[in-house]
Amino acid sequence: MGAENNNDGDEYYYYKYKKKEVMVLGTVLVFASVAVASLLLAFTYYCYLRYKLSKRKAGGINYEEKASDFANIQVATERGLQVFTFKQLHSATGGFAKSNVIGHGAFGLVYRGVLQNGRKVAVKLMDQAGKQGVDEFTAEVELLGRLRSPYLLSLIGYCSVTNRKLLVYEFMANGGLQEHLYPTSGNRTVCSNLNWETRLRIALEAARGLEYLHEHISPPVIHRDFKSSNILLNKNFHAKVSDFGLAKVGSEKAGGHVSTRVLGTQGYVAPEYALTGHLTTKSDVYSYGVVLLELLTGRVPVDMKRPQGEGVLVSWRFLMSRFLGRSCMEVGVPEAAVLLAALGSAIDEDRDKVGEIMDPALEGQYSMKEVIQVAAIAAMCVQPEADYRPLMADVVQSLVPLVKIHRPSKAVQRFISFLGTWNVEEVFDNPYLPI
């Protein structure tokens, strides 16, 4: 009996031990399963994130750029600029149709567009994502976002999505001045209405644009690419300065300069800037003088198909020969002084020689006195020595008396005065009027 009881006790303890062993093993297996499942879940989630990230990269989404875009939107809103989506501008330009191309520059193509609210705009699409293109885009947004002048082209807004950069401007119905000065250039013919009075007004309004940049902004802004193609005309042929992609903030010191690599358009670049890279507001004054000569002569700044010595418009020898004859070049007097002295007496002594430089499209319909005055301003602006060139404020003051302000005729004035004597309420209350 005692042996049997001992065996029963052993079996009891054996089964109890086995039961605990099974329970511990089960617990271990459960925890191991949970751990493995957690690892699988974590790995699956990791793979899912990698997949989503690769899809977003393939779609061109750059999160750093997105954050920058949000910052840009805030800045643009503060500056009154509208941030467009690419889809909006694609729709506005008819899918960037070739038929809507109205211009082409170093930045890219410019398209005519119509926004959803019916407003006509010009959309400039950057055709290359190089550093210079991005820098020009940034310069225009930064500058035009803070510049406010009726003589500068207004920037309405922009679009910046990955490598797509677009600028949206007010629409100028008559395009660039260059198209009207040289109507046979390019692939289309432009019907020009550039009579003498219109040219004078364009010259004054463009001068006011540069005056604003140089003397109403601190530090001054140097356009650096002022030329006839960057003067845009609205439907009434009023002018605005455009294209600030190469613009540079100038020195705050009087007579100071900023050093930069030489950029610009051949024929318009000031000689001291081309030689040294020293950029000042007087560099723009030189370019403005070239545009004045274009308005006078109807000639492009550089045309090497012309006779020797006449290929460059800003050629003192060419201008001298027209005003004074080639013999004057032998006089040992500074050329600018000789020219200005000649201008004073040319009205009475030799009108024909003055007329030789004028644009044939004007057909002689201009005031000889005004021509001489404008030629004198141009001569001072294109002086080889920058210090001898005038300020744009001086140019504006010189041009103001030449630009005629069109007032209503006497008959129209009398009619307006007559209307002013009427009692408007009595007119509308008269039962015999078909109103």
Helix (H), strand (E) at residue 5: helix 2-58
pLDDT at residue 423 in the model: 47
CB under 8 A, 24+ apart: contacts of 266-272: 266/301, 266/302, 267/300, 267/301, 267/302, 267/312, 267/313, 267/314, 268/225, 268/226, 268/227, 268/301, 270/386, 271/384, 272/386
Q: How confident is the model at residue 148 (pLDDT cuts 50, 70, 90)?
A: confident
Q: What is the mean pLDDT of the chain?
A: 76
Mean pLDDT throughout 184-202? 74
Domains belonging to the chain, first-starting first, are: 63-170 (3.30.200.20), 177-402 (1.10.510.10)
pLDDT at residue 429 in the model: 45
What is the distance between the terminal CA atoms of the chain, rounded to a whole angstrom? 135
pLDDT tens sequence across 10-31: 666 666 666 677 677 777 777 7
Most confident of the ranges 76-90, 261-275, 280-294, 328-342: 280-294
The token pair at 355 is 């007329």
Q: What percent of the chain has pLDDT over 90?
A: 37
Is residue 235 part of an annotated ligand binding site? no
Q: How confident is the model at residue 232 (pLDDT cuts 50, 70, 90)?
A: very high
Q: Which residues lie across from 403 on neighbouring strands? A: none
pLDDT at residue 162 in the model: 75
Answer whether residue 308 shows pLDDT above 50: yes
Q: Which of 8, 225, 243, 303 is catalytic?
A: 225
Q: How far apart are CA 176 and CA 172, in angstroms?
A: 8
Answer whether residue 103 shows pLDDT above 90: no
pLDDT at residue 73 in the model: 40
Q: Which of 93-97, 128-132, 353-357, 403-407 has the lowest mean pLDDT?
A: 128-132
135 is catalytic: no
Q: How far apart are CA 207 and CA 176, in angstroms?
A: 16
Mean pLDDT throughout 129-133? 61
Higher-pLDDT residue of 72, 203: 203
- Residue with tokens 């065996």, as numbered in its chain: 7
Helix (H), strand (E) at residue 148: none
Q: How far apart are CA 266 and CA 263, in angstroms?
A: 9
Q: What percent of the chain has pLDDT over 70?
A: 67
Q: How confident is the model at residue 7 (pLDDT cuts 50, 70, 90)?
A: low
Answer whether residue 65 shows pLDDT above 50: no
pTM of the model: 0.70
pLDDT tens sequence across 318-364: 555 555 444 344 433 444 444 554 454 544 455 666 667 789 899 88
pLDDT at residue 321 in the model: 52
